[in-house]
Amino acid sequence: MSLRRPRKAVLMVALVVTLALLCCGGSVTLLLWNGLRNDSGDRFINASLACGKGGALDPDTALPEISPYDTGQIRNAAIIINVGADMSLPPRAWVIAVATAMQESNLNNLGHLGERNDHDSQGLFQQRPSSGWGSPKQVRDPIYASTKFYAKLKTVRGWEKMALTRAAQAVQISAYPDAYAKHEPVATQIVNLLANGAANAVGDSVTPQCAVSGAIAASGWTIPLKGPVGSGFRTASRPSHQGVDISVDKYRPIYAVASGTVSVVKCDEDFRGRKSCNVDGYPGKGGCGWMVEIVHAGNVMTRYCHLVQQPFVRRNQQVVAGEQIGRVGSSGNSSGPHLHFEVHLGNDRSSTGAVDPVQFMQGQGAPLGNEG
């Protein structure tokens, strides 16, 4: 592979500060930065988070330095993505690499920091010349450093389906192996804006397609199961409904929507304080029946209710996206077989933290509502 500067495909884009799902209304707010110049001096903004879609706009303004990342840091992210594309690695690898550099260097190409250095670590990925990553000059070259990171990632068996923190740790061998996960949500949004929605994609091609089939998106998210969305989030008829109902046959497998840690596994009590989850429930009984909660990167919690039997996972268990956690049932406050699915921001288990799962999952490239 030739070591060249970022191509137009990466630099004719813009940035997102954050994808904020507002708790009360469930609406989506995008804060866009001005675009980087391409080789012709043009400037563009990607106006969409769709998979490979979005228009090219010319705001004709200078690229500002906006916290938390300045133009140099974002250019480094663009180089990381571009190298991954040149190596024909899928967008999931780009998300892993950007998140890793966010943790290791805050997307800064660091030189030797003297007493503040971690041994002789340098560059975007804090690679150590003494450990065989290359010379100090080489590891400070963002293209070289990115190439070495991806080359090592390719040797990690099964990295494509690993939790981001496990994949990054397998490459970096960090003293803080759990530190990478917190960067996954923002890294996903950076890749989306720098690569035209690529983080909301599936497959092993650099020309992504949306995750409509239930496969795991490059963002690391997938759907809990295929099926039509029935009762929606906080509808007029059910204003206190904090999730959505996906109506499918009993015993259909339910999958974790992203890697994370199981925080709750229980038979939820009904309105009378009874724990009677091994039988079908009924409207007005109360309770979630057999239920599971999982905490994911970014402190996002997902909740799965009305399982037919005791879930297949246990509290504190680490799960990966697409891992089966149980089967559809009708236990608890239920009128028939379905999965009640919730998403909560900030691991806030109350109604305050709940957001519309349809909008949230769409933003992860794993849209709900596919027919089963």
Question: pLDDT per residue over 185-194, tens digit each?
Answer: 888 888 887 7
Residue 353 domain flag: yes
Over residues 143-159, mean pLDDT: 95
The total of structural domains in the chain comes to 2
Residue 23 domain flag: yes
Q: Is residue 268 classed as helix, strand or coil in its secondary structure?
A: coil
Of the CA atoms within 13 Å of residue 89, those in its CB half-sphere come to 25
Cα–Cα dist 352/211, whole Å: 29
> Which CATH number belongs to the domain containing residue 318 in this structure?
2.70.70.10
Cα–Cα dist 197/185, whole Å: 14
- Cβ atoms 219, 102 nearer than 8 A: no
> 331 and 187 in one domain?
no
> 168 and 26 in one domain?
yes
Residue 6 or residue 30, greater confidence = 6
Over residues 137-143, mean pLDDT: 93
> 324 and 192 in one domain?
no
Cα–Cα dist 283/291, whole Å: 17
> 180 and 67 in one domain?
yes
Residue 218 domain flag: no
Over residues 6-25, mean pLDDT: 33
> 186 and 285 in one domain?
no
- pLDDT for the residue 277: 96
Query: pLDDT of 279-308, one tens digit each?
Result: 999 999 999 999 999 999 889 999 999 999
Among candidates 125, 155, 119, which has minimal Cα distance to 139? 125
Of the CA atoms within 13 Å of residue 53, those in its CB half-sphere come to 8
> 203 and 273 in one domain?
no
Predicted confidence (pLDDT) at residue 99 exceeds the cutoff of 50: yes
The amino acid present at 28, given as its one-letter code, is V
Which domain covers residue 256, as residue numbers? 244-363
> 256 and 176 in one domain?
no
Residue 344 domain flag: yes
Predicted confidence (pLDDT) at residue 32 exceeds the cutoff of 60: no
Phi, psi of 83 (to 5 degrees): -65, -40
- pLDDT for the residue 114: 64
Over residues 261-281, mean pLDDT: 94
Residue 228 domain flag: no
Predicted confidence (pLDDT) at residue 271 exceeds the cutoff of 50: yes
- pLDDT for the residue 286: 94
Rounded to 10 deg, the angle between the 91-105 and 164-172 helix axes is 60
Contacts of 263 (CB under 8 A, 6+ apart): 293, 294, 295, 301, 315, 316, 347
- pLDDT for the residue 252: 96
Element at 254 (helix H, strand E) = strand 253-255
Residue 44 domain flag: yes
Among candidates 287, 371, 273, which has minimal Cα distance to 332? 287
Cα–Cα dist 348/259, whole Å: 18
Dihedral (Cα; 290, 295, 299, 302), 10-degree rounding: -40
Over residues 352-359, mean pLDDT: 94
> 150 and 62 in one domain?
yes
Q: Is residue 17 classed as helix, strand or coil in its secondary structure?
A: strand
- Maximum average pLDDT range among 25-39, 102-116, 173-187, 276-290: 276-290
Residue 221 domain flag: no
- pLDDT for the residue 211: 43
Q: Is residue 75 classed as helix, strand or coil in its secondary structure?
A: helix
Cα–Cα dist 101/81, whole Å: 11
Predicted confidence (pLDDT) at residue 35 exceeds the cutoff of 90: no
- Maximum average pLDDT range among 9-13, 59-63, 222-226, 362-366: 222-226
- Cβ atoms 103, 184 nearer than 8 A: no
Residue 289 domain flag: yes
Over residues 219-243, mean pLDDT: 92
> 144 and 22 in one domain?
yes
Over residues 325-329, mean pLDDT: 97
Contacts of 290 (CB under 8 A, 6+ apart): 266, 267, 268, 277, 305, 306, 307, 308, 309, 310, 311, 326, 329, 331, 332
Predicted confidence (pLDDT) at residue 55 exceeds the cutoff of 80: no
Among candidates 341, 298, 35, which has minimal Cα distance to 182? 298
> 110 and 39 in one domain?
yes
> 93 and 163 in one domain?
yes
- What stretches of 59-199 show up as alpha helix (H) in DSSP? 71-86, 91-105, 136-139, 142-154, 164-172, 184-194
Cα–Cα dist 289/49, whole Å: 36
Mean pLDDT, rounded, of the chain? 78
Tokens of 69: 């990342």
Residue 59 or residue 280, greater confidence = 280
